[in-house]
C-alpha cells in the first residue's frame, strides 16, 4: 500500500519518548511525576522529527495514566500531587488541548489508551493526541520524611475527564478481609495453581521461573532507563538469600515487579493528514495493525486459576486482525509483573518461554521497573523504536491489569495499513458466557485446597491464604489461617498441599482453615451459651424472666466496633438458649444515643471493621429471633443503630429520639438490613427519602409510620420497655415463641389464604405443650395461669 492509498484519518504513532532518573546518580533532580512525564513528552515530540512547537500546539487530546498515589480510594500522596495531571503535563510542554483524560487504574491502561486514541482519530473526532504516564515512587519515598521535602501539589482550573479508579469487579470486601489486598499474594495463587497443574516440584518450578526471567535481566542490563540494570542468572533469581528474601510463596523479591522507580513514557499519535501537514517524516510512522481488549471473569468465577484464557484470546484476536501469526513477530513484550503473567500467555499460545526473539523489549517489570500503571507505555516506546530499525517487521505489546483481569494488546508495524475497527465484542461475550463454579462466602466443613500462598513478613512471621473447594458441594471459597497456626503453615510449606484436605469454618471476620476439625476446635473453642459475669463494652442485668442489655460506650454514642459486636452476639446466643429468659430489652448507656451504628473511627484507624455472622449487634442477620427483643431507644438511633431497632420485634422510644439511615452521607449503604427492613416497615416513599437522603425523623414521626410502638417522655424509654416486657410476660412464653415462628415462616407468602394454610409444626407442638394445658385450665378455673415455658 502506498502513502496515497492511505485514508487521511488513519492513525499513526509518530513519536515516543522516555525519561528516568535514579537516586544517587549524576544528574538526579528529584522530579515530580508531572515533571518526569513532561520530560518524556518533550522526548516524544522531538522523536517525531518535526517542529516541536507546532506539534505541541496541534495536540487536541491528552490522556494520562494514574499514578499509584491516585489509583485507589485509600492511596495517599505524601508530597502532594496535581489535581489535573494530564493538563499539568500539557502546560509544561506548551500544549492547550481541548480534551484531557485521566485513565482508570490498571496496567492495561497504556495500550488501551493508545488503541482508544487511535480509534478516536480514525473516527475524525481528534487529530493529534498524546498519551503519557509517570511514577516518582522512588523519589517520594526517599524524601517523604525529609525536613526540606518538596511540595508536588498543583491545582489546574480546567476540564478533566476523570474516569475514576476502575476497580469495580477487581477487588471485593471478601478479598480484603482475607488478605488479598497485596498484589504478590494475588498472583501467587495463580502461580501455585499452575505449578500443581504441571505436577512440578517446588524446586523445579523455582528453576523454571528463574530461567524465564534470566533473559529479561540481560535486556534490563542494557536499558538506560532500567531501575535495576543488573544481569542475574536463573539460580540467583530463584534462590532466596539475604538480598532476595521470600515475599510470598513462591516468589522471592527478585521475581516481583519493582515499583520503586522514577520513570515516564509518552506516545504521540496523529492522523496521516496531520502528520503530513506537520511535516512528520514517513520513516517515523508506525501503524497499529491489530488490537484487542478483554476482561477476565472475577476471581471466584474463573474455572481454572492456573490459566489466563481471556488474555490469550486478546492476543489471538489482535494477531488475527493484523493478519499474522506469532511466528511473524519480530519483537514481543508480555507484561511481566510476575512469572505467571508471562507463563499463562505462553501456555495459551504455545509460545516457548525461551523463544530466541525474547519476551520483553524493556527488561520486564522486576528489572526494568514497574512504574505503577504505566509500564506498557515504555514497552510501546521500545517496540516503536525497534520497528523503525527493522521496517516491515511486527511487534506485539501485551498489557495486563488487575489480577490477570484486564488485557490490552497492540500489534505494531511500519507497514502502512488503514485503521481496522474493533471487532472484539463477540470475544468478550464468549468470555462472559463461560461457566463458573459455585461460590461460598461462608465456608464450613471439609474442603480441598485448590491453590494457596504463604506470606512472609520481614520479621519472619508467616500467614496463609487458601482457595478451596468444599467437599459437600464443590463451591469455591477463600480463607486464611488462624494467626500462628504452625500446623497448617507447615503443611502449606512442604510437599504438595494442593489437592489435600483442610477443615474450614466461617466467622464474622472471615473464613479460617486448618488441618482437621479437631485442630479447628483447639483454635476456636466452642463458645458457651451462657451469660458471663462481666463484659467490657456491654452491661447485662437479669430481672426474673427479663434480660436487660445495655450498650456501654457512651463516649462514642454507643457505636459498635468488633469487640462490642462480638459481646452482643455472645449475649444474644445466651439469651436465646436460656429457657429461663423470655424477653430481652436492648438499650444504650446515657441519654444521647441508643446507638450511632458502626464505629467508623475504629475503621479509620486502619483496623478491620467486621460484624458477627449473626449480624450487627448479633441481631440483624440472625435467622431465628424466636423470643421477643425490645429496643428501648434513648436518643439517636442512627445508621446501624436504626438497623438494630428494625431487627427488634418492638421499639419503645423517648420523645427526643431520632431515627436515620445516614450511611449515604459517609459514602456507605445500610447493608445490615436497613435497605430491606425499612421499606417493609414504613411507607415506601418515606423509606426512599430516609435511605436516599439520610433524613432524620422524630420519635413521633416514627410512631406515626409504624416504626415505633410507643413514645414516652424523655428518659422513660427503659421504664416503658420494662412495662411492655411485663405485658408480654403475662402471656404464655410458649405461645409467644410459636407466634413469632409462624409470623416468620409466612412473612414472604403474599396470598393470605396460602399463608394461613401454610404447614407448620409450631401449632402442633403448642397443642401438646404444658403451657396450653395450663392456660386452658387456668381459664376454666378463673385464676391467673402459671406458665412453665414448656
The C-alpha atoms of residue 452 and residue 384 are separated, in whole angstroms, by 39
- Tell me the DSSP string of 762-775: HHHHHHTSHHHHHH
Sort 708 into a burial class: Cβ within 10 Å, 0-12 / 13-18 / 19+. Answer: buried
Q: What residues have CB less than 8 Å from 667, skipping those under 6 apart?
A: none
Yes or no: say if 705 and 686 are a contact pair by the CB < 8 Å rule. yes
Q: What residues have CB less than 8 Å from 31, skipping those under 6 apart?
A: 21, 39, 136, 139, 262
Q: Which of 311, 362, 310, 309 is nearest to 332 (CA)?
A: 362
Cα 659 versus chain centre, distance:
32
Secondary structure in 3-state letters for 42-83:
HHHHHHCCCCHHHHHHHCCEEEECCCHHHCCCCCCCCCCCEC
Secondary structure in 3-state letters for 372-410:
CCCHHHHHHHHHHHHHHHCCCCEEEEEEEECCCCEEEEE
Q: What is the side-by-side order of every strand in the sheet holding 658-660?
A: 593-595, 636-638, 658-660, 697-698
Inter-CA distances, 762 with 583, 627, 741, 759, Å: 19, 14, 7, 9
The single residue listed with the C-alpha cell 464443590 is 474
Q: What residues have CB less than 8 Å from 137, skipping those under 6 apart?
A: 68, 259, 260, 261, 262, 371, 372
Secondary structure E strands in 305-370: 331-334
Q: Using DSSP, state whether 324 is helix, strand or coil.
A: coil
Check 69, 316, 382, 643 and give the catalytic one. Answer: 643
At 344, phi and psi to the nearest 5? -65, -40
Q: Using DSSP, state whether 652 is helix, strand or coil.
A: strand
Cα 201 versus chain centre, distance:
32
Q: What residues have CB less than 8 Å from 405, skipping those under 6 apart?
A: 106, 169, 170, 295, 296
Inter-CA distances, 325 with 292, 322, 358, 376, 426, Å: 15, 9, 16, 21, 20
Yes or no: say if 355 and 211 are a contact pair by the CB < 8 Å rule. no
Residue 452, H or E segment? strand 445-456
Yes or no: say if 442 and 478 are a contact pair by the CB < 8 Å rule. no
Known catalytic residue at 643: yes
Half-sphere exposure of 399 (CA within 13 A, CB side): 29
Helix residue ranges, H only, 590-698: 600-604, 640-647, 674-681, 684-693
Yes or no: say if 723 and 712 are a contact pair by the CB < 8 Å rule. no
Known catalytic residue at 157: no
Q: Which of 168, 278, 173 is nearest to 671 (CA)?
A: 173
The C-alpha atoms of residue 266 and residue 90 are separated, in whole angstroms, by 12
Check 518, 663, 713, 723 and give the catalytic one. Answer: 663
Yes or no: say if 710 and 631 are a contact pair by the CB < 8 Å rule. no
* C-alpha grid cell, residue 786: 402459671
The single residue listed with the C-alpha cell 471485593 is 172
Secondary structure in 3-state letters for 164-224:
CCCCCCCCCHHHHHCCCCCHHHHHHHHHHHHHHHCCCCHHHHHHHHHHHHHHHHHHHHCCC
Query: Looking at the annotation, which residues are catalytic?
Result: 643, 663
Amino acid at each position: 500500500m502506498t502513502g496515497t492509498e492511505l485514508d487521511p484519518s488513519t492513525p499513526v504513532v509518530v513519536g515516543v519518548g522516555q525519561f528516568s532518573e535514579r537516586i544517587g546518580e549524576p544528574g538526579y533532580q528529584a522530579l515530580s511525576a508531572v515533571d518526569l512525564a513532561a520530560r518524556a513528552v518533550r522526548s516524544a515530540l522531538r522523536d517525531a522529527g518535526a517542529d516541536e512547537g507546532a506539534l505541541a500546539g496541534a495536540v487536541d487530546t491528552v490522556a494520562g495514566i494514574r499514578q499509584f498515589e491516585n489509583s485507589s480510594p485509600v492511596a495517599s500522596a505524601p508530597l502532594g500531587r496535581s489535581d489535573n495531571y494530564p493538563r499539568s503535563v500539557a502546560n509544561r510542554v506548551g500544549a492547550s488541548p481541548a480534551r484531557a483524560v485521566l485513565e482508570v487504574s490498571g496496567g492495561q491502561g497504556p495500550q488501551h489508551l493508545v488503541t482508544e486514541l487511535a480509534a478516536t482519530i480514525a473516527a475524525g473526532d481528534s487529530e493529534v493526541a498524546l498519551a503519557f504516564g509517570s511514577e516518582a515512587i522512588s523519589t517520594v519515598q526517599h524524601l517523604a520524611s525529609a525536613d526540606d521535602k518538596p511540595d508536588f501539589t498543583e491545582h489546574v482550573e480546567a476540564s478533566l475527564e476523570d474516569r475514576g479508579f476502575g476497580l469495580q469487579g477487581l477487588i471485593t470486601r471478601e478479598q480484603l478481609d482475607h488478605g488479598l489486598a497485596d498484589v504478590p499474594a494475588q498472583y501467587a495463587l495463580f502461580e501455585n495453581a499452575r505449578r500443581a497443574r504441571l505436577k512440578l516440584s517446588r524446586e523445579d518450578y523455582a528453576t523454571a521461573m528463574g530461567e524465564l526471567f534470566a533473559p529479561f535481566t540481560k535486556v534490563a542490563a542494557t536499558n538506560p532507563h532500567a531501575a535495576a540494570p543488573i544481569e542475574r542468572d536463573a539460580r540467583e533469581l530463584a534462590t532466596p538469600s539475604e538480598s532476595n528474601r521470600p515475599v510470598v510463596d513462591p516468589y522471592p523479591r527478585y521475581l516481583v515487579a519493582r515499583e520503586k522507580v522514577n520513570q515516564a513514557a509518552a506516545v504521540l499519535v496523529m492522523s496521516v493528514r496531520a502528520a503530513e501537514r506537520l511535516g512528520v517524516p514517513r520513516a517515523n510512522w508506525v501503524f497499529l495493525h491489530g488490537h484487542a481488549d478483554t476482561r477476565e471473569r472475577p476471581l471466584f468465577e474463573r474455572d481454572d486459576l492456573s490459566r489466563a484464557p481471556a488474555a490469550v484470546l486478546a492476543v489471538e484476536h489482535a494477531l488475527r486482525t493484523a493478519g499474522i501469526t506469532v511466528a511473524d513477530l519480530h519483537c514481543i513484550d508480555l507484561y511481566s509483573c510476575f512469572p505467571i503473567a508471562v507463563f499463562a500467555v505462553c501456555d495459551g499460545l504455545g509460545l516457548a518461554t525461551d523463544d530466541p526473539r525474547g519476551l520483553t523489549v524493556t527488561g520486564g517489570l522486576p528489572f526494568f521497573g514497574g512504574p505503577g500503571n504505566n509500564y506498557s507505555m515504555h514497552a510501546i516506546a521500545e517496540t516503536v523504536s525497534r520497528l523503525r530499525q527493522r521496517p516491515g517487521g511486527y511487534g506485539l505489546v501485551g498489557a495486563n491489569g488487575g489480577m490477570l483481569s484486564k488485557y490490552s494488546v497492540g500489534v505494531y508495524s511500519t507497514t502502512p495499513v488503514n485503521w481496522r475497527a474493533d471487532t472484539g465484542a463477540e470475544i468478550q461475550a464468549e468470555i462472559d458466557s463461560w461457566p463458573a463454579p459455585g461460590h461460598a462466602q461462608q465456608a464450613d466443613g471439609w474442603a480441598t485446597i485448590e491453590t494457596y500462598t504463604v506470606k512472609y513478613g520481614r520479621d519472619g512471621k508467616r500467614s496463609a491464604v487458601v482457595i478451596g473447594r468444599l467437599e459437600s458441594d464443590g463451591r469455591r471459597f477463600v480463607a486464611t489461617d488462624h494467626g500462628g497456626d504452625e500446623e497448617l503453615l507447615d503443611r502449606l510449606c512442604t510437599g504438595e498441599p494442593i489437592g489435600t484436605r483442610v477443615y474450614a469454618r466461617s466467622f464474622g471476620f472471615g473464613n479460617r482453615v486448618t488441618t482437621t476439625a479437631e485442630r479447628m476446635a483447639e483454635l476456636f473453642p466452642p463458645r458457651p451459651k451462657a451469660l458471663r459475669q462481666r463484659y467490657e463494652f456491654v452491661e447485662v442485668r437479669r430481672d426474673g424472666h427479663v434480660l436487660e442489655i445495655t450498650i456501654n460506650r457512651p463516649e462514642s454514642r454507643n457505636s459498635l466496633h468488633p469487640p462490642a459486636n462480638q459481646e452482643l452476639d455472645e449475649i444474644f446466643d445466651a439469651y436465646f438458649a436460656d429457657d429461663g429468659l423470655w424477653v430481652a430489652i436492648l438499650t444504650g448507656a446515657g441519654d444521647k444515643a441508643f446507638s450511632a451504628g458502626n464505629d467508623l473511627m475504629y475503621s479509620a484507624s486502619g483496623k478491620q471493621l467486621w460484624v458477627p455472622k449473626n449480624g450487627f449487634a448479633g441481631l440483624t442477620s440472625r435467622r431465628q429471633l424466636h423470643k421477643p427483643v425490645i429496643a428501648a431507644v434513648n436518643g439517636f438511633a442512627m445508621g446501624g443503630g436504626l438497623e438494630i431497632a428494625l431487627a427488634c420485634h418492638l421499639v419503645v422510644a423517648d420523645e427526643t429520639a431520632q431515627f436515620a439511615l445516614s450511611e449515604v452521607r459517609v459514602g456507605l449503604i445500610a447493608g445490615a438490613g436497613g435497605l430491606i427492613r425499612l421499606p417493609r416497615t414504613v411507607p415506601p416513599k418515606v423509606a426512599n427519602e430516609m435511605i436516599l437522603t439520610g433524613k432524620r425523623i422524630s420519635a413521633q414521626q416514627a410512631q406515626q409510620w409504624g416504626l415505633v410502638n410507643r413514645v414516652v417522655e424523655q428518659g422513660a424509654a427503659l421504664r416503658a420497655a420494662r412495662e411492655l416486657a411485663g405485658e408480654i410476660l403475662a402471656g404464655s412464653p410458649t405461645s409467644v415463641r410459636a407466634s413469632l415462628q409462624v409470623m416468620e415462616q409466612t412473612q414472604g407468602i403474599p396470598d393470605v389464604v396460602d399463608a394461613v394454610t401454610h404447614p407448620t409444626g409450631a401449632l402442633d407442638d403448642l397443642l401438646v405443650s404444658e403451657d396450653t394445658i395450663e392456660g386452658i385450665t387456668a381459664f376454666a378455673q378463673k385464676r391467673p395461669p402459671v406458665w412453665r415455658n414448656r
